[in-house]
A and B are shown apart, each in its own frame.
Chain A
Amino acid sequence: MIGDARDGSASASERRVHLRFEDGAARDIEVAPGELILDAALRQHVPLIHQCRSGSCGTCVARLVDGTVEMLRDRALSLMPYEIAEGRRLTCSARALSDSTLALDYPGTLIFGGDPHKAPHRSTLAATVRTIEWPVESIARLVLELDRDSEFSFHSGQYARLRIPGTDQWRSYSMATTARDLPAMEFFVRFIAGGAMSEYLRTRARLGDTIEIEGPLGAFILRPGAAPHIFVAGGTGLAPILSMIDALRRQPGRRPPILLCFGSGGEATLFARDELELRQWWMPSLEVRLSAGRVDSPSSGILKGTPIDALREDDAHDPASAAYVCGPPGMIEAARRRLAAIGVAPERIYVEQFRPSIIGDPAIAYASTERSIGVKVER
């Protein structure tokens, strides 16, 4: 090797990057000069979780522990300046300027197997539309049934990409049901005028249609443990959290205390309230607080404000508490700050952002919760 590996200068030698996973597993990879860290990892059979490969979805985020890792300058990235200052790096858009250590916030078993639930193998399958209904005006509930003999499994919190029939467009949605419910899979789709999936559901969809599914995807998964759980969900961000709550009900050992703060813009868009009531009956240790920006019926018990406002000072009195947040980007940061302020350890705050469907299109409001990763219409 030429040059001092730690002087941060751009030398013409390979850098060694030490990848450390949440469960203590680790891998070392060699990153060539100018090579993106994710590419190097994939090349050396370390399948780091990623999706868009363009710096937008945030899935491939890692935390720089040691060394120098520089982000590409010619890409718009989804990291905020303060996140970069805190050490976060998107491995799909980063180069190593010196030997470095990066920490991933998911267990190595998720990608290397050995997990009793087996790292689910990613595949493309066909599923049939069994139910389309509109529990509230702007949100569709879609239930698909995987074809018989499909081999598919997932961890609660993961998502799948669905191909809109008759198009080459794919959209990503979190499973609201658990692997135990397979072959049934339930999704919630926020209706967006002009959105590809929304228009399909509104005008063309028929029961019995076939939809291709790719997955499972994502690192936003439920970690094992009996510590109290705090869930913060905004809009259709409730979907992966519903899956997690159902998984908690069936996990071995004692059920932990669970708090769910679920919010939406208007009271009328709080969907799945009956499902949440059922869960509250089945699980005495589950507390649900509903929030809405606009509350029409004051006696309903719905709190005015955001689901973050609904958090209280003593909700995380147990220092081992874990928090899971899912919703629009603005909500994520506010939730992270508030959770840390009430005492949740930062490394136990897990987040998943829902991003707008067409990247860079200013016409799509930031509050959109239909998510698509790296979609470019094929020409």
Chain B
Amino acid sequence: MVANNPASKLPPISRQYAPYIEADWGFKNTWYPALFSNELAEGGLKGVSIGGHDIALRRARGRAWALADRCAHRGVKLSARPKCLTDETVTCWYHGFTYGLEDGILKTIVASPNDPLIGKVRIRTYPVVERAGIIFVFVGDEEYAPAPALEADLPIHIEDDANAVPHILDDNVYVRGIHRTGNSNWRLAVENGFDPGHLLIHWDNQIVAATDRKLGLGVEPITEDAIKVVDVPDGPKGIMNMYNLRAYKFIMENPAVGLKARGKKPYYARTSTYLPGVLLVEHWPIPGWAQYEWYVPLDDKRHEYWEVLVGRCRDEDERREADYLYDHFFEPLALKDFNDNDLFAREAMQDFYQRRDGWNNETLCAFDKAVIVWRKVAARFNRGIQEPPVYANSR
């Protein structure tokens, strides 16, 4: 027999999570945060872009609606110049094509009220859920209906901690945060979020120095139960780094470079990540609080980085206290100073993965087990892979 067979293009290990490698533009048929509620005033219209879907968000009669941000007529973005004339419609600023908020159907054309097109043309709509001060949109195929519950695309409720952090959908929680654009593919951002070995970039961050926390130089999985797979039927799917078990070893020094973990107060914050790519950090920035992060794909090169803090607040006094902590401690030291380093790290990986086939040329080490498990879980439990938008006249 003729002997011949160079190894197939993809090395064996990454073939196991091939669907994840395909997902340059993100996963679809899933819930993503689009705007904070207070970013969309009554009567307002704003455009966001998620996985190549341009989406126009409108608040009318208190409720948030989402439609395609592209007029069927000449293709302009409705959000380019908001023009909202009635409580039940959105009107394109150019010729006045007016679409129903509920069904996207063309109800009238301001410049041509008897036009035969009326009632025969529509733009698509997207399911919207507004909870905890965030407007979530279900982004994917129109035919994927009904949309699953929002809870399925959020972290789990924590049950194994006597002082469990609150869940974002709980009653009596304070929810506040920021979002900004990061210049890296969404997957690099997700993986940076829970990657157990990157504590070095936080070594000298303000919050670490100010709280005198002994974070350690790194965390290494040493037993089988170090990384737990979360698979709730019709619910969240993801992985959890079980730092609370003896499954992980905390690296406190590296004599080869003369570095020791500084700080006096040992501290760890357990992390877990769920499809479509939402991180939960427990007891961060301080015990009793949780940090949620999303990495919403804008396109194949950028993501919208959401950082949202969740804490328990039962009354106005506690809210005022939380506002103080957020304004003077959490946002500047945690959301900005600490996580700025993560944004930096993600952007530093982007070139390798985008232009140098990083998925097939990376060299992973012991603590990257968590990353591999995440990739496999994401490859299996996603509800679909977002296609890049097709532009006519391009190949």
Which residues of chain A have a CB within 8 Å of any CB of chain B? 131-134, 143, 201-207, 226, 249-250, 252-255, 278, 281-284
Tell me which of B77-85, B302-310, B373-381 binds A: B373-381
Give every chain A residue within 8 A of B384 (Cβ-Cβ): 250, 252, 255
**Given B5, B15, B19, which contacts A132 in the complex, CB threshold below 8 Å?**
B5
**Given A206, A255, A281, which contacts B4 in the complex, CB threshold below 8 Å?**
A206
**B352: CB under 8 A from chain A?**
no
Q: Specify which of A201, A205, A252 lies most central, judged by the most chain B CB atoms within 10 Å of its CB.
A: A252
What is the CA–CA distance of A204 and B4 in the complex, to the nearest angstrom?
12
Instruction: Render B150-191 as a binary contact track against A, CB cut-off 8 A, 1 for contact.
Output: 000000000000000000000000000000000000000000
- Is B5 in contact with A252, judged by CB distance below 8 angstroms? no
Number of interface residues of B (CB under 8 A): 20
Give every chain A residue within 8 A of B16 (Cβ-Cβ): 278, 281
| Known A278-B15, A278-B16, A282-B380: A203·B2 in contact at CB below 8 Å | yes
| Known A133-B5, A278-B15: A254·B380 in contact at CB below 8 Å | no
**Given A202, A253, A281, which contacts B379 in the complex, CB threshold below 8 Å?**
A281
**CB-CB nearest in chain B for A208:** B4
**CB-CB nearest in chain B for A226:** B143
**B393: CB under 8 A from chain A?**
no
**Given A202, A255, A284, which contacts B2 in the complex, CB threshold below 8 Å?**
A202
Give every chain A residue within 8 A of B15 (Cβ-Cβ): 278
Given A252-B141, A253-B143, list of 6 further CB < 8 A pairs?
A: A131-B6, A132-B4, A143-B8, A250-B385, A253-B144, A255-B384
What is the CA–CA distance of A143 and B10 in the complex, to the nearest angstrom?
14
What is the CA–CA distance of A201 and B5 in the complex, to the nearest angstrom?
13
- Is B2 in contact with A206, judged by CB distance below 8 angstroms? yes
Q: Looking at chain B's contact residues, is the secondary structure mostly helix, strand, loop, or mixed?
A: loop
Which residues of chain B have a CB within 8 Å of any CB of chain A? 1-2, 4-6, 8, 15-16, 18-19, 141, 143-144, 376, 379-381, 383-385
**CB-CB nearest in chain B for A275:** B15
- Is A278 in contact with B18, judged by CB distance below 8 angstroms? yes
The number of inter-chain residue pairs (CB within 8 angstroms) is 51
**Given A204, A207, A282, which contacts B18 in the complex, CB threshold below 8 Å?**
A282
The 6 nearest A-B residue pairs measured at CB: A253-B143, A252-B141, A133-B5, A253-B141, A253-B144, A207-B4
**CB-CB nearest in chain A for B20:** A282
What is the CA–CA distance of A204 and B141 in the complex, to the nearest angstrom?
48
- Is A249 in contact with B141, judged by CB distance below 8 angstroms? no
Give every chain B residue within 8 A of A255 (Cβ-Cβ): 384
What is the CA–CA distance of A207 and B5 in the complex, to the nearest angstrom?
9
What is the CA–CA distance of A195 and B376 in the complex, to the nearest angstrom?
42
**CB-CB nearest in chain A for B376:** A281
Min CB distance A315 to B, Å, is: 22
- Is B19 in contact with A249, judged by CB distance below 8 angstroms? yes
Give every chain B residue within 8 A of A131 (Cβ-Cβ): 4-6, 8
Give every chain A residue within 8 A of B376 (Cβ-Cβ): 281
Give every chain A residue within 8 A of B143 (Cβ-Cβ): 226, 252-254
Min CB distance B42 to A, Å, is: 34
What is the CA–CA distance of A40 and B4 in the complex, to the nearest angstrom?
48
